[in-house]
Amino acid sequence: MEGRPTDGELFARAQRGNQAAYEEIVQRYQQVAFRTAYVITGSAAEAEDAAQEGFVKAYRALSTFRPGAEPRPWLLRIVANEARNRVRSAGRRHQLELRVAERFRPGDAAPSPEAAAVAAEDHTWLLGLVNELSEEDRLVISSRYLLELSGEETAAALGIPEGTVKSRLSRALDRLRRRIEEGARA
């Protein structure tokens, strides 16, 4: 389809010292890196600093990137480490409050405002339950589903072995399902 360079080509160029290529890498990955850091720190300002610092450190460590490896887990591991270090040095993490976007505003010429409102309320309710989970459960569910990270990327972001992601995720989902059931009965 389009002839834009692949991630692998950009990494190869960056490893040869091409800073414009690295800028393009940051462009491609800044959103997932920032959001990952946000889920970990609970603060947009901290996440911004962690992501920026992480990208700078990753650049300095480019010689350790193995050609042909997946760049996303590699970058996310560095950014997530930076985010965790910030939480640790601050001695506390901010209370993360993920919110549902308000896409349907009153007064809009929506074809079915009622249906839109029901959909938004359902998301808000489910997200509220995710926010209330323990930090460990919330982090693994947020990484896997809300950030859409792969198993390998989730492991990198959480700093745990990939094999642990699966069991931790399964337990977290069980607990979330129980909360949904309790909420539905209430």
Partner 1 sequence: MPDAADLEQRLVLLQAEIDWPATPALAARVRARIATPSAAPRPWFQNRWALAAAAVLVVLAALVAYTPSRDAIASWINIHTIFTRVNQLPTPSPLPSGPLGKRLGLGDPTTLDQAQSKLSWHVVVPASLGRPDEVYLQLPPLGPPQGEVTLVYKSRPGLKASGQTGVAVLVTEANGRVDTQFFGKMLGNGTTLEEVTVNGHKGYWIGGQPHVFFFIDADGKFRDETLRLATNTLLIDDNGTVVRIEGDLTKTQALEIAASLS
- Quote the CA–CA distance of 144 and 169 in Å, as a whole number: 8
CB of 88 to partner 1, least distance (A): 21
166 closest CA partner among 153, 151, 176:
151
Question: Which of 12, 133, 146, 160 touches partner 1 (CB under 8 A)?
Answer: 146
Q: In this chain, which stretch among 65-73, 87-95, 155-163, 178-186 interacts with partner 1, using CB under 8 A?
A: 178-186
Question: Backbone phi, then psi, for 4, in 5-degree steps?
Answer: -85, 150
In eight-state DSSP terms, residue 16 is T
What whole-number distance in Å separates Cα of residue 130 and Cα of residue 120?
A: 15
Judged by CB under 8 A, the residue of 115, 159, 163, 164 near partner 1 is 115
How would you class 119 by CB atoms within 10 Å of its CB: exposed for 0-12, middle for 13-18, buried for 19 or more?
middle
Q: Which of 5, 9, 45, 159 binds partner 1 (CB under 8 A)?
A: 45
Structure tokens at 107: 């007064």
Q: Determine, following the binding rule CB under 8 A, whether residue 162 of this chain makes contact with partner 1.
A: no
Is there binding between residue 126 and partner 1 (CB under 8 A)? yes
Burial of 152 (0-12, 13-18, 19+ CB in 10 A): middle
- Pick one of 110, 133, 152, 166: the residue that binds partner 1 (CB under 8 A): 110
Nearest to 33 by CA among 14, 50, 17: 50
Site stretch for partner 1 (CB under 8 A), options 44-52, 63-71, 150-158, 160-168:
44-52
16-35 positions binding partner 1, by CB under 8 A: 19-20, 22-24, 26-27, 30-31, 33-35
Asked whether position 145 contacts partner 1 by CB under 8 A, the answer is: yes
Q: What is the phi/psi pair of residue 17, to 5°? A: 95, 10
Residues that bind partner 1 (CB under 8 A): 1-2, 4, 19-20, 22-24, 26-27, 30-31, 33-35, 38, 44-45, 47-48, 51-52, 55-56, 59-60, 98-103, 105, 108-112, 115-116, 118-128, 130, 141, 145-148, 173, 176-178, 180-181, 183-184, 186
